[in-house]
Amino acid sequence: MRKLRNDELGRLTPEEIRKIAKNPFVLVLDNLRSRHNVGSAFRTADAFLCEKIILCGITATPPHREIHKTALGATESVTWEYVPETMDAIDKLKKQGYKIAGVEQADESISLEKFTISHGEKLALIFGNEIRGVQDAVVKKSDYVIEIPQFGAKHSLNVSVSIGVVLWHLLTVMEK
């Protein structure tokens, strides 16, 4: 066994990525503080072919040196927009037929391993601030609240890790 070289990975250009079919997921970043987490979200959205990212509130927008450092060019391959208020983004997505799934610890949350998505269902995933999480009003307006099971003392994952865990799970259970 040997490690593959970059030229063996079959990487698509940003132009090619824009043209191919995407997975039916929109990431909504609700007031993220860290530009590095924003860049990581772009890179993960690119890896899992998400439709787009919506950046809300205080979430930084490209171009920015710190976003670029972790995005590694994914800001060029992932469609994104800025919406000042997360609730406005949710209203717009609902009108477009998306189900809203907040990723948060809540009293009526669905454990990630029990959450599935049906073929053709469009899902907007809300990921919250590194300290305060997803806004309470956003949790209340969500169709689902998904919780990643955790067993240690912290019961807290970095938001960029949470994005990867949730997207991977959804792609493995999504009906093709």
Matching CATH number, 27-147+155-173, of 2.40.160.20, 3.40.1280.10, 3.40.50.300, 3.10.20.30: 3.40.1280.10
CA dist 83 and 89 (Å) reads 6
CA dist 86 and 84 (Å) reads 7
Domain boundaries, the chain: 27-147+155-173
pTM listed for this prediction:
0.95
Give CA angle at 3 (159, 11), nearest 5°: 65
Show pLDDT as tens, one digit a residue, over the chain (176 residues). Answer: 999 999 999 999 888 988 899 999 999 999 999 999 999 999 999 999 999 999 999 999 999 999 999 999 999 999 999 999 999 999 999 999 999 999 999 999 999 999 998 888 999 999 999 999 999 999 999 999 999 999 999 989 999 999 999 999 999 998 65
What is the helix (H) or strand (E) element at residue 53, kind and residue range?
strand 50-56
